[in-house]
């Protein structure tokens, strides 16, 4: 560990785009994973979405060698557990009932983004150092714990080797099995499910709704203004104050437009709904959606079926449609395991959580098997699990 110098950066800007992206995208891909990139983190922080004022204080862990950034862990000091999609509220309650303080805690995550991807960025040799240094920072900052959410399988296993507690959950993802078009995908479904999807799509089409797929320079500030109205209206009805500010969307529109797909639904000449997606690393990631009112099946069409259309047309391997939602299974999205890793400094709480997680992992595995049994695909199809 002595070959690296560790420090905490108070913002992504303090690390800089070039150094950050050299760690996040060592292969220099033209379409890297969008949620590891500097511009996404910078937009969150500089727009006021993820800051100390919102309970997401940046304190990114940086490892340097000869003044060159070799690796980093996107890290936030938090005083709540909102916007994470991996729930630890019961752990906080248990520690506080025992007279301890669960907050502040450290969170290694992409704020407000339940998307699997690399969390330990940079040289592979530095991965164990990041994990061990993270545990030391917990104690140095007086935090209760460090939580690494939606990390890759390889990182998850490395975290387990480093003494972190291991957790699983599941999401629903659509897999592209080399489909020629949407009809080819439908042909792989069982007769009943195929009939249901056609009915849902026809309902939206017959209501007079048309869709625009906007990327790159096609996306204007007028589109962001309209989409933000949808986002605020839907988000406010679902969970109170939405996390993202209006400025955030302008910032990613300016810096990441070539990796953005904004799907806008129009009826009678007016936009009525929209879905924000980002794409890269062979995957289309559905992120936020909103609508001005209710129309049967509009959400499914805008967020799921239009996304599948885009993925097939552009040769993407997968569509990740966000957290939760067993209704996605009936629409061709199959269950996949997701991972998180947790270091808890309090020995008693750590033992209790470890025992709980062992039981939870078994339940998740069983649930995925049960869901596989009701796959919408024809028996024997590769996507039928």
Query: Alpha-carbon distance 117 to 325, whole Å?
Result: 20
The residue-averaged pLDDT of 66-78 equals 97
CA 207 to chain centre: 32
Task: Give the integer Cα–Cα distance in Å for 78 and 81.
Answer: 7
pLDDT tens digit sequence for 26-42: 988 989 999 999 999 99
3 state SS of 55: coil
pLDDT tens sequence across 298-357 = 999 999 999 999 999 999 999 998 887 788 988 999 999 999 999 999 999 999 999 999
> Is residue 121 a contact partner of residue 70, using CB atoms and an 8 Å limit?
no
Distance CA 31, CA 335 (A): 25
- Per-residue pLDDT reduced to its tens digit, 91-149: 999 999 999 999 999 999 999 999 999 999 999 999 999 999 999 999 999 999 999 99
**Element housing 280 (H / E):** strand 270-280
CA distance 238 to 216: 30
In the structure, what pLDDT confidence band is assigned to residue 61 with cuts at 50, 70 and 90? very high
- Mark out the alpha helices in 103-220 (DSSP H runs): 127-140, 153-161, 182-187, 191-206
CB 108 within 8 A of CB 119: yes
pLDDT at 238: 61
What is the pLDDT, as a whole number, of residue 162? 98
Where along the chain do its domains lie?
5-170+336-372, 173-335
The fourth-level CATH superfamily of domain 5-170+336-372 is Gcn5-related N-acetyltransferase (GNAT) (3.40.630.30)
CA dist., res. 338 & res. 304, Å (int): 20
What does the pLDDT read at residue 356? 98
pLDDT (tens digit per residue) in 280-299? 999 999 999 999 999 999 99
CATH of domain 173-335: 3.40.630.30
Note the pTM of the prediction, 2 decimals.
0.95
Whether the Cβ atoms of residue 329 and residue 321 lie closer than 8 Å to each other = no
Scanning the chain, the segments in alpha helix (DSSP H) are 12-15, 17-24, 38-46, 89-97, 127-140, 153-161, 182-187, 191-206, 221-239, 246-255, 298-300, 306-313, 347-372
Confidence check: pLDDT of 80 > 60: yes
Please state, in angstroms and rounded to a whole number, the distance separating the CA atoms of residues 152 and 36: 12
Q: Is the pLDDT of residue 380 over 70?
A: no
Say whether 173-335 and 5-170+336-372 share the same fold.
yes
Task: List the Cα angle 296/112/320 in 5-degree steps.
Answer: 55
| Predicted pLDDT at 385 | 44
| Axis-axis angle for helices 17-24, 38-46 (nearest 10) | 130
Q: Is the pLDDT of residue 383 over 70?
A: no
Q: What's the CA gap between 16 and 37, in Å, rounded?
A: 11
Mean pLDDT in residue range 212-241: 88
pLDDT band for position 244 (cuts 50, 70, 90): very high
Q: What proportion of the chain, given as a percentage, has pLDDT over 70?
A: 96
pLDDT top residue among 127 and 376: 127
């Amino acid at each position: 560990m002595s070959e690296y110098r560790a420090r905490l950066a108070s913002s992504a800007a303090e690390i800089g785009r070039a150094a950050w992206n050299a760690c996040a995208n060592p292969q220099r891909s033209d379409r890297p994973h969008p949620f590891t990139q500097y511009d996404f983190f910078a937009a969150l922080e500089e727009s006021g979405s993820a800051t100390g004022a919102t309970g997401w204080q940046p304190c990114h862990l940086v490892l340097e060698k000869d003044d060159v950034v070799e690796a980093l862990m996107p890290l936030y000091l938090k005083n709540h557990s909102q916007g994470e999609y991996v729930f630890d509220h019961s752990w906080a309650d248990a520690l506080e009932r025992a007279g301890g303080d669960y907050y502040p805690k450290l969170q290694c995550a992409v704020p407000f983004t339940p998307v699997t991807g690399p969390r330990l960025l940079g040289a592979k040799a530095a991965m164990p150092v990041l994990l061990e240094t993270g545990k030391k920072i917990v104690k140095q900052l007086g935090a209760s714990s460090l939580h690494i959410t939606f990390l890759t399988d390889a990182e998850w296993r490395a975290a387990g080797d480093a003494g972190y507690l291991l957790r699983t959950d599941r999401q629903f993802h659509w897999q592209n099995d080399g489909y020629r078009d949407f009809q080819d995908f439908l042909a792989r479904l069982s007769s009943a499910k195929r009939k249901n999807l056609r009915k849902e799509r026809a309902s939206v089409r017959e209501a007079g709704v048309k869709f625009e797929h906007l990327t790159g320079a096609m996306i204007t500030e007028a589109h962001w203004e309209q989409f933000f109205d949808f986002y605020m209206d839907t988000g406010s009805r679902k969970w109170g104050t939405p996390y993202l500010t209006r400025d955030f969307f302008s910032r990613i529109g300016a810096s990441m437009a070539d990796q953005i797909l904004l799907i806008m639904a129009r009826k009678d000449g007016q936009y009525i709904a929209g879905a924000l997606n980002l794409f890269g690393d062979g995957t289309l990631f559905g992120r936020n959606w909103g609508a001005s009112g209710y129309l049967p099946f509009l959400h499914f069409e805008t967020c799921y079926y239009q996304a599948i259309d885009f993925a097939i047309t552009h040769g993407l391997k997968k569509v990740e449609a966000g957290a939760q939602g067993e209704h996605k299974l009936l629409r061709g999205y199959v269950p996949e395991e997701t991972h998180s890793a947790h270091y808890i400094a309090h020995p008693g709480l750590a033992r209790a959580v470890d025992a709980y997680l062992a039981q939870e992992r078994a339940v998740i595995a069983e649930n995925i098997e049960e869901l596989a049994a009701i796959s919408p695909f024809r028996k024997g199809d590769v996507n039928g699990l």
